[in-house]
Structure 1
Amino acid sequence: MKHPVFRYLYIFYSFVFLLHTINVFMENENINYIVGIFAILMLFVSFPLASRLFKILGGSFLLIGGYLFFTTGQSLHVIPSILTSNLSLLTLLAMLPWMNSIVRSGRFDRNLNLLMKGNVTDLGKLYPRSSLTTHILAAFLNLSAATISQDVLKNTLSSFSKEIRNSFITTASLRGYSLALLWSPLEIMVAVSLFTTGVDYVTVLPWLVFIAVVAYLLDSVFGRLYYKKYAFESMAVNHQPKINKKAIARKMVQFVCALIVFLTLVVLIGNLFELNFILTVTIIIFPFAFIWSLLLKRRKSFWTIGWNNWKAKTNTMQNFIVLFIGLSLFSTSLGDTSFLAVIEKPLSFVTSYPMLVLLLIQVIFVLLSMFGVHPIATVGILTGIITPLLDFMNPVSITLVLITGSVATFTVGTYGLLVTLTAMGTQQSPYRITIRNMPFAIGLWIVGTLVAYLLL
């Protein structure tokens, strides 16, 4: 696994992703079959390099999916065609680092950090600002936004006790981060949920933004009241960073305008060419980021940061490759069996209590995340339940609870990547982080469920 050839996996992965994307437009069955064979090779190459958790998850989907496939009586030669169903999601994942790179090369992250630290007298005032800053960063930077925010907060709160510092970082950064992923077109869970229900992004976007705003305001009130008793000492005034308000305001306007333009392009191009959400975002990311770098006159730094970032991220996609390809076999085989008809009957008894159904979906996400199950895998597990629900419940409502339920796991998933990184960075137990953020997760369930219920 340490052989130099593994440094060049990004070439192989990229070739498969490009071929798949081209065939989305061509819709050629022969090319799709070839891509499926490459997907099998990707699986064999990636499985030894995946983490233990994803080996278990991906292996489980492959075993169960394989068993279900054999019960359908289909010929083995159709398997490659089945394994391509989730390659669009993998292609999107491979393109996300380019958006991360333009934000870094444009130094938007640095300016947002200055905004976070300037002119605060107590932690109550710092809380909503920290949460909002992480929120804005996460819209483009995803996971790195949380680590950047946490590093700045550790510096800013160095005069406070470790317990107060950890509590503040755990709540402000993780909650602000998760609320951005609730509506971001670059968040993979949004893409997976839309892919599962077939709902358009533009249809759910206003409701996702509404849920995010309500949750942010409620959490900001909590933070303002809970942390206002912790005041900065007088010496902190001397450590206030000197900021150029006009320059930062200009950068912020550029950042927000870029986000609005990106969202507008996703909606317009998707509707104009009748492309699905995942494909539209995948195609737009690179040209949008490149043109943005030209306008900012940061082309060289964009290429330098972007190329290295993209290679590193694409080279280490093994976890998602194992999970998504295994999930392809499982979900496709499940749809070809009589299992869906079996579960429809008990579901008919629950349809009289739609609020209970919506709430249970979100509870399942969080409960499984506490045992290390990734929300993408949870969607796969719920596939059999979700499909019949779409026949008698509003798909928009199902989409909303899938997204809010999966996003809530980022703050309480004991073995999740974000909670684990936060635990390592703050030197505290991940279980403590889970307990601190559980009220927020429950609040997000309630808000998401109420909105979804009203749309039924």
Structure 2
Amino acid sequence: MRGAINQRLYVIYSAILSLFIINMFISSNVLTYIVGLLAIPMLFISFWGANKLFRILGCVFISFALILFIYAGLPIYEIPLYMTSTMPLLAFLTLLPWMNSIVRAGRFDRRINEVMKENVSDLGKLYVRSSFTTYILCSFINLSALSLSQDVLLENMSKMKKKIKDSFISRTTLRAFAVALVWSPMEIIVAITVDATGVSYLSYLPWLFLCSIFVLLIDWLSSNKRFNTISYEVSSVRRPREIQPKQIAKQIAQLLFALTIFLVVVVSIGNYFDLNFILSVTLVILPFSFGWAVMMKRWRSFFAIGWSTWKQRTNSMQNFVVLFLSLAFFSSSLNETPFLQLIQQPFLASTERPLMILVLIQVTYLVMSMIGVHPIATIGVLIEVLQPLYSVMNPLSIGMVMITGALATATVGVYGVTVTMTSMNTKQNPYRITLRNLPFALLFGAVGTLIGFLLL
């Protein structure tokens, strides 16, 4: 019975989230309540398919939410109204696989990853090459690019000693992943922060991109120096296809052009219809991907890959459904009590020392990631806590630190998806990956904090 439900989760999720999106345009009180009611069984159905860590987080959030809800003296029948505030994020995640699919349908991922395999004499050069390709792909296909790059490197480095191979892969792929997503409009942390702070994405973009490139270049310089004494011999498992630099450059240019058009469409639609950033991106992803597939004459591949990928990813969203719906109940209940003001006190008391506030945000992310709390759960609480500071500090500064702090944990979160995936792919201890990348995470966070401080 449970297996049959898990295979049809994409139908359940899509129906509920479609109702929610429709209601955002018609603003029906009845439909709002119905969607909230449906969110409750949606949460419980997802609970049994979620990982242990997310079930624990969900239970913690729900337990505290119930305590706060009862403390606030709110009637039980209003619970559904407190369950929907994070549904835009779930809708966003549901449609994101279609953007990944168009990149795969156009075979951009295969061609760009071929850059790793040609004319490399030492690991220093391979590091820069593989970091660059992972960076480009992560900007478009997010987590899928991480697995793809690691698979290519595992194959190409099969002749290397395991210790060197593990160190190399856990550095180059995780670090490129983190700095690539820090400015991507398809990264959920970026979308959440843009909407929470009320600052335009275009205001963030140059500073996030500057931070990304600066940290990436520092990593390239230091890692090239670290690995350039180790010679590299490509594995003979598979003969690499001869790359064509002009073709690769052309496809990278096409990806960047497509991303630019995507951003223009998202911002234009958001401004014209007065929509928040997350909803704008959500509404644009599918028609934009389809239009791109038609222009490339790859729409059959797009639908074949997209439909399969979408069903698989949507059926595997239990972790995020549990996290987001329980977080919505918790944050909405917290807003109805005086406890929120108590949590805000340390931040409000430091308004005369804004640098301390920015550092405190970074430290909060780092500590919470080390004990297994997902950065989205952390940012969900920080958004409520930091809101009063927007009137006394530049919200752009706060947003910069919220984004960089969250993405820096992608390289060190022991129980996070990225570190866990890397640990499984390379068969190494996740704590070793964390220790190896901790200096980078601190550097990334420090650069983000410095830029945020200069923007005050």
**TM-score of Structure 1 vs Structure 2, range by shorter chain:** over 0.9
Match of 1:371 in 2: 371
Question: Gapped runs of 5+ residues in structure 2?
Answer: none
Cα deviation, residue 384, structure 1: 4.3
Measured after TM superposition, the shift of residue 234 of structure 1 is: 9.8
Aligned to 1:337: 337
> Structure 1 residues 391 and 224, CA, compared in 2 at 3 Å: closer, same or farther?
same
Query: Cα distance, 1:153 vs. partner?
Result: 1.2
Separation of aligned partners in 2, 1:406 and 1:5: 33
Counterpart of 1:296 in structure 2 is 296
Query: Per the alignment, in what secondary structure is the counterpart of residue 258 of structure 2?
Result: helix
Question: Which residue of 2 is the match for residue 208 of structure 1?
Answer: 208
Per-residue deviation at 1:336? 1.6
Question: Hey, what's the Cα distance between the residues in 2 that align with 1:234 and 1:350?
Answer: 54
- Worse overlay, 201-210 or 247-256: 247-256
For residues 296-340 of structure 1, give each alpha carbon's deviation from its aligned partner in whole angstroms, at most 9, with x where no partner exists.
111111111100111111112111111111111111111121123
Post-superposition offset of 1:232: 2.6
Counterpart-to-counterpart distance in 1, 2:414 and 2:347: 30
Q: Does residue 1:264 correspond to 2:275, yes or no?
A: no
Aligned in 2, Cα 1:270/1:416: closer, same or farther, shift over 3 Å? same
Q: CA deviation at 1:141?
A: 1.1
CA offsets 1:60-86 (integer angstroms, 9 cap, x no match): 111111111122222222221221111
* Counterpart in the other structure of 2:387: 387
Kept in 2, the 8 Å contact 1:331–1:383? The answer is no
The answer to whether 1:415 aligns with 2:415 is yes
Query: 2:400 aligned with 1:400, yes or no?
Result: yes
State the TM-score, normalized to the length of structure 2: 0.96
1:347 is displaced (CA, Å) by 3.3
Is 1:448 aligned to residue 448 of structure 2? yes
Q: Distance in 2 between matches of 1:305 and 1:440?
A: 35
Q: TM-score, normalised by structure 1?
A: 0.96
Q: Report the secondary structure of 2:48's partner residue.
A: helix
Q: For 1:105 and 1:185, locate their aligned partners in 2 and report how far apart those are by CA, in whole Å.
A: 21
Residue type matched to 2:205 in 1? L
- Shift in Å at residue 227 of structure 1? 1.0
Give the match for residue 120 of structure 2: 120
Corresponding residue for 2:22?
Answer: 22
**Aligned pair in 2 of structure 1 residues 357, 346: CA closer, same or farther (>3 Å)?**
closer
> What letter matches 2:52 in structure 1?
R
Is the counterpart of residue 361 in structure 1 residue 361 in structure 2? Answer: yes
> Any idea what the Cα deviations from partners look like across 1:371-415, whole Å, max 9, x if unmatched?
211101112333443223223221111111111111011100111
> Is residue 157 from structure 1 mapped to residue 173 from structure 2 by the alignment?
no
Q: How many Å separate the matches in 2 of 1:398 and 1:431?
A: 30
- Alignment-derived partner of residue 167 in structure 1: 167
In the alignment, the residues of structure 1 paired with residue 167 and residue 382 of structure 2 have an alpha-carbon distance, to the nearest angstrom, of 33
Q: CA RMSD in A?
A: 1.8
Deviation at 1:286, TM superposition (A): 0.5
Identify the residue that residue 226 of structure 2 maps to in structure 1: 226
On the 8 A contact 1:340/1:388 being kept in 2, the answer is no
Q: Is the 8 A contact 1:119 1:240 kept in 2?
A: no
Give the structure 1 partner of residue 82 of structure 2.
Answer: 82
Q: Quick check: 1:136–1:180 contact (8 Å CA) kept in 2?
A: yes
The alpha-carbon deviation at position 235 of structure 1 amounts to 9.5
Deviations 1:73-119 (A, max 9, x none): 22222221221111100000000110111111110000111112222
Alpha carbons 2:155, 2:235 under 8 Å: kept: no
User: 1:420 is matched by which residue type in structure 2?
Assistant: T
2:327: which partner in 1? 327
Structure 2 residue 201 is the aligned partner of structure 1 residue 185: no
Residue identity in the other structure for 1:58: G
Q: Equivalents in 2 of 1:96, 1:75: separation in Å?
A: 36
* 5+ residue gaps, structure 1: none
SS at match of 2:8: helix
CA positional deviation for 1:343: 3.9
CA contact (8 A) 2:347 2:357 kept: no
- How far apart are 1:425 and its partner, in Å? 1.2
The structure-2 alpha-carbon separation of the partners of 1:455 and 1:254, relative to structure 1 and needing over 3 Å to count, comes to same
Return the alpha-carbon distance in structure 2 between the equivalents of residues 82 and 5 of structure 1: 25
Provide the residue aligned with 1:43 in structure 2.
43
Paired residues for 1:236-275 under 5 Å: 241-275=241-275
CA distance in 1, matches of 2:437, 2:201: 28
Cross-structure match for 1:111 = 111
Residues in 2 aligned to 1:149 and 1:235: alpha-carbon distance in whole angstroms: 15
- Secondary structure at the residue paired with 1:49? coil
Instruction: State the distance in 2 between where 1:231 and 1:448 align.
Output: 34
TM-aligned CA distance change 1:111 to 1:122, over 3 Å: same
